[in-house]
């Protein structure tokens, strides 16, 4: 293994032909060039020098034990450095092997005999893509949304984010309505964190998870001796939320007799512990959430009408994930990156097949189901890119009928999906859409997409 120093970008050349190795090393003298002629030296070089781009001869001869080195080196290299851009070189008859290398995660391939000028363009592009991806990863780490933990790009969800930011500084009671798994808890937390009460507690209670016999004492607390087992005076959730926020999750499951007591508290802002006489003044902000239709429950007598109007000064309806267009891919990438960082995985993204499967699945379990699928896939995936099979999803791609308005919506959806899937890289997004860069720019301008200098 040999090294030439004093260059900014590191290029690893793995070639057992000494003549070609020397030719390539001389041609790429603008880079810090590292050379290796076998798998063992190449792996050592990757560990030691962390190259950004590697040119690899896929036809390396077998090692001393007779093991083919080409594909094994490719896989080991990507396990060591998932962001390494590998350009494989093959013989004239090596197209099948080149396609296999691409599936395993190589960046590009080139057929021998080598034309250094053409290979130079491929290498330059590989370094450029590596730079853009690295910068994008850095920006992703630096960016922080005011709505902590809430990831969205869909127009309906961005409108909800805007509502949250407007409502948060007030003490208005708010009802978050939506299917299970849509993110009601995260939005409740965001309302608290953006409010003037953020330095105090947000206290949550799930009205559906606590037995009816216990929920009153959980909410209002109790005095010593109030009932069997009450060995000491204990404050309830409402009291603990003084100066902060009280989050009543699944308010639709609260028993009717407790709805009366809760209504009295909301009107007078005082409580009495069970078994107590003292009135305790409480200053708290109320946020409620439910997956049930409270208006229908009011009509059927299952929910008090006066309480309904007390807790719905502002109602926010959260759409299910299946109606949130490009949020599916955005959330999937966010969750995957989280698991990659937590468990130090070598996965770098989703295959096109997986992206289509994510888009086409109806997600009845919403974000919670998506998180479970991504966690499963991160465990099951054995290659660089997660497949539809890893996700446990069908890869069938069903295309809807297309009229003028549907076409407009479909184009906007496709543009968002392509940009998110390709980390806002214009060239890669255009390629995935099967159009030219100028055409993509025209479409972005047509639909008023903000263009960034980095893309």
Distance of CA 251 to the CA centre of its chain: 29
Which pLDDT band, with edges at 50, 70 and 90, does 5 fall under? very low
Q: Which two tokens stand for residue 103?
A: 């599936």
Q: What is the mean pLDDT of residues 58-80?
A: 76
Burial class (CB in 10 A: 0-12, 13-18, 19+), 338: middle
Q: Which two tokens stand for residue 169?
A: 């500084």
Contacts of 83 (CB under 8 A, 6+ apart): 52, 130, 133, 134, 348
Domain ranges across the chain: 2-142, 155-319, 323-446
* High-pLDDT (> 70) share of the chain, %: 89
Q: What is the mean pLDDT of residues 60-78?
A: 75
Sign of CA dihedral 234, 238, 243, 248: positive
pLDDT at residue 370 tops 80 = yes
Residue 147 backbone phi and psi in degrees, to 5: -90, 85
The residue to which tokens 């603990």 are assigned? 240
Rg over CA atoms, the chain: 29
Instruction: State residue 147's pLDDT score.
Output: 63
Q: Which two tokens stand for residue 408?
A: 């407009």
β-pair type (32-36, 2-3): antiparallel
Distance of CA 293 to the CA centre of its chain: 29
What is the DSSP secondary structure assignment for residue 90, as one 8-state letter?
E
Judge contact between 357 and 332, C-beta under 8 A. Answer: no
pLDDT at residue 1 tops 50 = yes
Helix intervals (H) in 361-433: 366-380, 388-391, 404-421, 426-433
Q: Which two tokens stand for residue 206?
A: 């799930």
Strand partners, 286: 246
Name the CATH superfamily, with its identifier, for domain 155-319.
Answer: P-loop containing nucleotide triphosphate hydrolases (3.40.50.300)
Instruction: State residue 70's pLDDT score.
Output: 78
Distance of CA 367 to the CA centre of its chain: 10
Q: What is the mean pLDDT of residues 142-151?
A: 56
Please say whether the structural domain 323-446 has been given the CATH code 1.10.8.60: yes
The residue to which tokens 């409580």 are assigned? 271
184-232 pLDDT tens trace: 999 999 999 999 999 999 999 999 999 888 999 999 999 998 888 888 9
Q: Do the two domains 155-319 and 323-446 of this chain adopt the same fold?
A: no
Q: Nearest Cα to 236, choosing from 285, 209, 272? A: 272
pLDDT at residue 396 tops 80 = no
> What is the length of the chain?
455
pLDDT at residue 4 tops 70 = no
Residue 318 backbone phi and psi in degrees, to 5: -95, 120
pLDDT at residue 356 tops 50 = yes
> Beta-carbon neighbour count of residue 8 at 10 Å?
8
What span, in angstroms and rounded, lies between the C-alpha atoms of 185 and 229?
32
pLDDT at residue 397 tops 80 = no
Instruction: State residue 429's pLDDT score.
Output: 86
Q: Which two tokens stand for residue 34?
A: 């590292």
298-340 pLDDT tens trace: 999 999 999 999 999 999 999 999 998 778 888 998 899 889 8
Which pLDDT band, with edges at 50, 70 and 90, does 64 fall under? low
What span, in angstroms and rounded, lies between the C-alpha atoms of 341 and 224?
48
Q: Which fold has domain 2-142?
A: Rossmann fold (3.40.50)
Instruction: State residue 2's pLDDT score.
Output: 56
What span, in angstroms and rounded, lies between the C-alpha atoms of 361 and 181?
15
What span, in angstroms and rounded, lies between the C-alpha atoms of 205 and 194?
20
Q: What is the mean pLDDT of residues 117-144?
A: 77
Instruction: State residue 385's pLDDT score.
Output: 86
Instruction: State residue 112's pLDDT score.
Output: 83
Q: What is the mean pLDDT of residues 368-393?
A: 90
Q: What is the mean pLDDT of residues 56-78?
A: 76
What is the per-residue DSSP string for 256-296? HHHHHHHHHHHHH-EE--BT----EE---EEEEEESS-HHH
What span, in angstroms and rounded, lies between the C-alpha atoms of 403 and 320?
24
């Amino acid at each position: 293994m040999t090294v030439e120093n004093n260059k900014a970008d590191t290029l690893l050349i793995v070639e057992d032909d000494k003549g070609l190795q020397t030719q390539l090393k001389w041609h790429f003298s603008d880079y810090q060039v590292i050379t290796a002629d076998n798998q063992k030296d190449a792996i050592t070089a990757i560990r030691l020098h962390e190259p950004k781009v590697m040119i690899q001869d896929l036809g390396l001869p077998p090692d001393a034990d007779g093991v083919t080195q080409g594909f094994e080196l490719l896989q080991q290299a990507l396990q060591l450095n998932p962001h390494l851009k590998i350009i494989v070189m093959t013989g004239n008859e090596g197209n099948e092997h080149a396609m296999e290398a691409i599936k395993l995660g190589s960046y590009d391939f080139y057929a021998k005999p080598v034309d250094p000028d053409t290979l130079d363009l491929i290498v330059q592009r590989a370094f450029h893509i590596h730079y853009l991806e690295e910068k994008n990863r850095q920006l992703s780490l630096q960016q922080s949304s005011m709505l902590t933990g809430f990831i969205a790009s869909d127009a309906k969800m961005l409108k909800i984010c805007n509502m949250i930011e407007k409502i948060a500084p007030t003490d208005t009671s708010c009802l978050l309505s939506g299917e299970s798994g849509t993110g009601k808890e995260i939005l409740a937390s965001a309302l608290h964190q953006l409010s003037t009460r953020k330095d105090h507690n947000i206290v949550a209670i799930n009205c559906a998870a606590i037995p009816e016999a216990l929920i009153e004492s959980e909410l209002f607390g109790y005095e010593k001796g109030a009932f069997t087992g009450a060995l000491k005076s204990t404050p309830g959730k409402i009291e603990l939320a003084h100066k902060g926020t009280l989050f009543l999750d699944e308010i639709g499951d609260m028993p009717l007799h407790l709805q009366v007591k809760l209504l009295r508290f909301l009107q007078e802002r005082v409580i009495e512990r069970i078994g107590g006489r003292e009135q305790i003044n409480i200053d708290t902000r109320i946020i409620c959430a439910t997956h049930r239709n409270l208006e229908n429950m009011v009509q059927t007598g299952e929910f008090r009408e006066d309480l309904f109007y007390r807790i719905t000064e502002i109602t926010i309806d959260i759409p299910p994930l299946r109606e949130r267009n490009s949020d599916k891919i955005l959330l999937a990438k966010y969750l995957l990156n989280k698991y990659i960082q937590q468990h130090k995985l070598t996965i770098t993204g989703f295959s096109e097949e997986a992206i289509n499967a994510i888009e086409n699945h109806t997600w009845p379990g919403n974000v919670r189901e998506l998180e479970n699928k991504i966690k499963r896939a991160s465990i099951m995936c054995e290659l660089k890119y997660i497949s539809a099979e890893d996700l446990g999803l069908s890869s069938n791609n069903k295309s809807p009928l297309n009229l003028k308005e549907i076409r407009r919506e479909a184009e906007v959806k496709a543009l968002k999906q392509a940009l998110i899937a390709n980390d806002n890289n214009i060239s890669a997004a255009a390629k995935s859409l099967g159009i030219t860069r100028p055409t993509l720019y025209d479409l972005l301008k047509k639909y008023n997409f903000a263009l960034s200098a980095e893309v």
